[in-house]
């Protein structure tokens, strides 16, 4: 039986130890806060699982979780198909390949807080280019600071603009790895464009699509900076996602116990959903 050389793990072991250490200390601190209560003066009292029960029964938590799940659902059903379509439309050879790749990568190079600030100014009703055009040229009443529907449309549009490129680049990498022999065989057999996509391109993109879905799920389910800078969670609480509500409880109200319990529940939901996505998308893979 052939032996597998495991010495390669020695090269990544220092990184694994460093990352584990940097993650373990904050996690221990959060767990410590989640089971204790304090009345100030750095004096803590054992509270057990009380904070977890309060959070899970809280209408505020359930509403924020619902908004977060709805946001993530919309992001996935828009960005993944759109990214696949754009990747299929991009050239495989020639001068326009680097042009398209650089253009696709540009939105991802912009810092998250800058993206939120850009779209905030862009959509202002009176001075923003988009806001002024919708209100004064097309005659559409648009004000994301007053209308929850407009706020949601703006947040979703901003995220689609910012992160669809990630799906595009991953799918494009999968497409260019397909040998020309597959396309030549399909052409000889008279396969339609849909058949080529279904039986050649989609199976070859499955692995990169799995990565794309997982990355976009985790990013969108934990998104904070862009929507917070754009809307601040408003108008009212209409765009207060779970991540924004968590920060409000932790830093705004300084309720460390409930915030720590909520963050652990948040982490568990993200971990379980990511595992579920991965299991469903890879269940038919040949071992």
More confident residue, 240 or 189: 240
Considering 6-15, 120-129, 154-163, 270-279, the range whose residues carry the highest mean pLDDT is: 154-163
Per-residue pLDDT, averaged over 57-82, amounts to: 96
CA distance 155 to 226: 8
In degrees and rounded to multiples of 5, residue 85 shows phi and psi of -60, -45
Structurally, at CATH architecture level, domain 59-282 sits in Orthogonal Bundle (1.10)
| pLDDT bracket for residue 97 (50, 70, 90) | very high
Contact between residue 123 and residue 154 where contact means Cβ atoms under 8 Å apart: yes
Model pLDDT, residue 16: 83
Average pLDDT, the chain: 90
CA distance 72 to 156: 9
Q: Where along the chain do its domains lie?
A: 59-282
**This prediction's pTM:** 0.89
| pLDDT bracket for residue 284 (50, 70, 90) | confident
Residue with tokens 């990511």: 274
């Amino acid at each position: 039986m052939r032996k597998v050389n495991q010495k390669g793990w020695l090269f990544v072991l220092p990184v694994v130890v460093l990352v584990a250490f940097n993650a373990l200390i904050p996690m221990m601190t959060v767990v410590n806060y989640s089971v204790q209560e304090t009345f100030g003066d750095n004096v803590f009292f054992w509270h057990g699982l009380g904070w977890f029960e309060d959070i899970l029964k809280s209408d505020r938590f359930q509403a924020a979780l619902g908004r977060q799940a709805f946001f993530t659902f919309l992001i996935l059903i828009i960005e993944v198909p759109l990214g696949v379509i754009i990747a299929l439309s991009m050239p495989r050879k020639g001068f326009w390949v680097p042009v398209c790749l650089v253009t696709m990568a540009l939105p991802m190079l912009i810092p998250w807080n800058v993206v939120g600030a850009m779209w905030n100014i862009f959509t202002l009703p009176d001075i923003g280019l988009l806001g002024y055009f919708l209100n004064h040229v097309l005659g559409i009443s648009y004000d994301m600071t007053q209308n929850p529907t407009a706020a949601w449309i703006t947040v979703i549009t901003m995220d689609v603009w910012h992160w669809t490129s990630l799906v595009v680049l991953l799918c494009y990498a999968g497409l260019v790895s397909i040998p020309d022999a597959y396309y030549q065989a399909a052409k000889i057999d008279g396969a339609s464009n849909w058949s080529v996509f279904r039986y050649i391109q989609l199976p070859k993109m499955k692995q990169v699509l799995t990565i794309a879905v997982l990355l976009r799920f985790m990013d969108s389910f934990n998104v904070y900076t862009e929507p917070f800078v754009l809307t601040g969670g408003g108008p009212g609480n209409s765009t207060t996602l779970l991540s924004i509500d968590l920060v409000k409880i932790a830093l705004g109200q300084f309720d460390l116990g409930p915030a720590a319990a909520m963050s652990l529940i948040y982490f568990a939901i993200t971990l379980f959903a990511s595992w579920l996505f991965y299991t469903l998308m890879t269940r038919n893979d040949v071992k």
